[in-house]
Amino acid sequence: MTEHTLILLRHGESDWNQKNLFTGWVDVDLTEKGRAEAVRGGQLMRDAGLLPDVVHTSVLRRAITTANLALDACDRHWVPVRRSWRLNERHYGALQGLDKAATRDKYGDEQFMLWRRSFDTPPPPIEAGSEFDQSGDPRYAGVDVPATECLADVIPRMMPYWEHDLRADLSAGMTVLVTAHGNSLRALVKHLDGISDDDIAGLNIPTGMPLVYRLGDDFMPTGPGEYLDPEAAAEAAAAVANQGR
């Protein structure tokens, strides 16, 4: 049976992860800790002998820099690079730039968690032309920039990229590294692991931890996805789940 190797990597800690702000499509940088996480992610891939032949990233700096640092650490800085807005973080609407703890205090835990983790409750839309609106950004020329997104909105914009671009490189026998974001990766893992709309609320992806899938010739996993450092990944995923508390 054909076996394809897919490695998913959420970017390292960003400035706004550290400050506990809703980020979405705002193009913030990595913290020093986030850079170290990216390097460590690359070292884990190197130590496991999992060397990417190609990397796919979003068009956001935190994913791009994470990919560069991780690939450098495993001596694969030279592989082909492909980027797409389709791998971007979900757009967090009017919540972009707001403090997570303050938002929870203001609206209550239930509404806060619906906005963060429910499958189909989008945050309020961002106002066009406001500080953290991306609709005029030249990198999105020709893209219908969303004003907000829930996970159910991320799936139809991300899945065509999975079906055409990522699967094309997997078909060519490449080990594919995807460096993206908590919620765009939740959408992909939902598909791969067949997670229901209700159960996806419980899935949190930690920063900077390579998650490896072996896929069969139907491009579905032959076993569970495995973090290269499972203990650290479980601890970091719990920290993501508890943000804003």
Ligand X SMILES: O=C(O)[C@@H](CO)OP(=O)(O)O
Indicate the annotated binding residues: 10-17, 23-24, 62, 89-92, 100, 116-117, 182-183
Half-sphere CA count of 11, side-chain side, radius 13 A: 34
Cα separation, 15 vs 186, whole angstroms:
21
Task: Please check whether residue 89 is in contact with residue 116, taking contact to mean a CB–CB distance below 8 angstroms.
Answer: no
Query: Which of 41, 182 has the CB closer to ligand X?
Result: 182
Question: 111-130 mask for ligand X (x: CB under 6 A)?
Answer: -----x--------------
Half-sphere CA count of 5, side-chain side, radius 13 A: 16
Coil vs helix vs strand at 200: helix
Task: Please check whether residue 221 is in contact with residue 194, taking contact to mean a CB–CB distance below 8 angstroms.
Answer: no
The residue from 65, 118, 179, 183 that contacts ligand X (CB under 6 A) is 183
Query: Which of 42, 123 has the CB closer to ligand X?
Result: 123
Give Rg (Cα) of the chain. 17
Question: 2-41 mask for ligand X (x: CB under 6 A)?
Answer: ---------------x----xxx-----------------
Specify binding-site residues for substrate: 10-17, 23-24, 62, 89-92, 100, 116-117, 182-183
Interface residues toward ligand X, by CB under 6 A: 17, 22-24, 89, 92, 116, 182-183, 240, 243
